[in-house]
Amino acid sequence: MEMMKTLQQMGEHAAIAALTANLNAVGDDCAVLPMNEEYDLVLTSDPLIENVHFTPDASPEQIGHKAVCRVLSDFAAMGAEPQYLLINLVAPPEQNFQTLEKIYAEFSPSGPLRAGSLLEKYGVELVGGDLAQGPVLELHVFGVGRVPKGTALLRSGAQPGDFIYVTGPLGGAQKSGKQYSFEPRLEWGRALRESGKVTAMMDISDGLATDLRHILKASGVGAELESSKIPTIGKLENALYDGEDFELLFTVPSGESLPDIGTKKKAAMLWVGKITDCREELLIDGVAVRNKAFEHFKGE
């Protein structure tokens, strides 16, 4: 008789792997499916739940920004172009409706905040969704986009000798408020994809050490980081494990130059280490890095 397992026993990552083992879509941060001769279809979704992803004192503008930009960051990680969003809203009966109006003003195609709306800024359109009752405020955002056929950037292409880069400083996002104000790296993601030089890429949502391990596992390689090269806000520990930075993490063959997407943007692409042939081994300055990742259901 097979023993029953709980989500707490399995943890987030093992549960996802088991539940999606037989899916047909190709992809990592997003699912990539055939669309036509020119483009592949790119799909993603992300929940934003009160007391999990935001605190009750977060402003409506902060909630709206984070809900949408987490999904847009997934598109950036694939080098893809977002086009449409759907939002399923869950809220308790006593939820203040004016707060919801202010949240939706952040991504409304019309109204007083139209000129500065997220949808106007990033070129996506809100096309639907649903409303349901629940114990706390939740926004479940679904994104639809596209990428030129066969060009989506995955986690599985890193090779020994590749250099590892990030697109900005890491750590302290929750203390600094960056988790509510980060800019999804859509322009950079597209430029990196168009360069044809990137071998693997993803966004950093769970910390550098945790997310780099996803690339190592998918690519069957290892990595060695140099602590002095990792751009940190706070301590090295913060950069490795805090999460919610939403910078891009990518690999490029060692002999290749970075794509020219503007002096300022190029300067922010920072070298932090190299890929090795030691499968799934992660070192910093020659010392093994412990796996100390937050997982839903397990905690830290």
Query: What three-state secondary structure class fits 100?
Result: helix
Choice between 106 and 266, residue whose per-residue pLDDT is larger: 106
pLDDT in tens, 174-214: 888 999 999 999 999 999 999 999 999 999 999 999 999 99
pLDDT for the residue 18: 64
pLDDT in tens, 7-37: 676 666 676 666 556 555 556 789 999 999 9
pLDDT for the residue 101: 92
* Structure tokens belonging to residue 127: 């096309």
Rounded mean pLDDT of 146-157? 96
Considering only 6-10, 45-49, 134-138, 234-238, which range has the smallest mean pLDDT?
Answer: 6-10
- Tally of residues, the chain: 300
Q: What angle do CA 28, 32, 34 make, to 5 degrees?
A: 160
Rounded mean pLDDT of 66-82? 96
> What DSSP assignment string belongs to 108-175?
-SSSTTGGG-HHHHHT-EEEEEEEEE-SS-EEEEEEEEEEETT----STT--TT-EEEESS-BS-HHH
User: Chain-wide mean pLDDT for the chain?
Assistant: 87
Beta strand 125-133 with 81-91: parallel, antiparallel or unpaired?
A: parallel
pLDDT for the residue 113: 41
Q: Are 106 and 117 in contact (CB under 8 A)?
A: yes
Rounded mean pLDDT of 145-169? 96
Global pTM?
0.88
Q: Are 80 and 73 in contact (CB under 8 A)?
A: no
Choice between 293 and 178, residue whose per-residue pLDDT is larger: 178
- Give residue 6's pLDDT band: very low, low, confident or very high (50, 70, 90): confident
pLDDT for the residue 120: 76
pLDDT for the residue 300: 54
* Structure tokens belonging to residue 155: 């986690």
Considering only 95-99, 146-150, 260-264, which range has the smallest mean pLDDT?
Answer: 260-264
pLDDT in tens, 88-138: 999 999 999 999 999 988 776 554 444 457 777 888 989 999 999 999 999
pLDDT for the residue 240: 95
How far is it, in rounded angstroms, from Cα 195 to Cα 184? 19
Q: Is the predicted pLDDT of residue 165 greater than 60, yes or no?
A: yes
Domains of the chain (ranges, CATH numbers)? 7-148 (3.30.1330.10), 163-288 (3.90.650.10)
pLDDT for the residue 16: 61
Choice between 238 and 23, residue whose per-residue pLDDT is larger: 238
How far is it, in rounded angstroms, from Cα 19 to Cα 13? 10
Choice between 141 and 9, residue whose per-residue pLDDT is larger: 141
pLDDT for the residue 255: 84
**% of residues, the chain, pLDDT over 70:** 84
Give the list of residues 6+ apart from residue 283 with CB closer than 8 angstroms, or none: 222, 223, 224, 225, 276, 289
How far is it, in rounded angstroms, from Cα 72 to Cα 78? 10
pLDDT for the residue 258: 81
Q: What angle do CA 26, 27, 30 make, to 5 degrees?
A: 130
- Please provide residue 82's backbone torsions phi and psi, each rounded to the nearest 5 degrees: -75, 145
**% of residues, the chain, pLDDT over 90:** 71
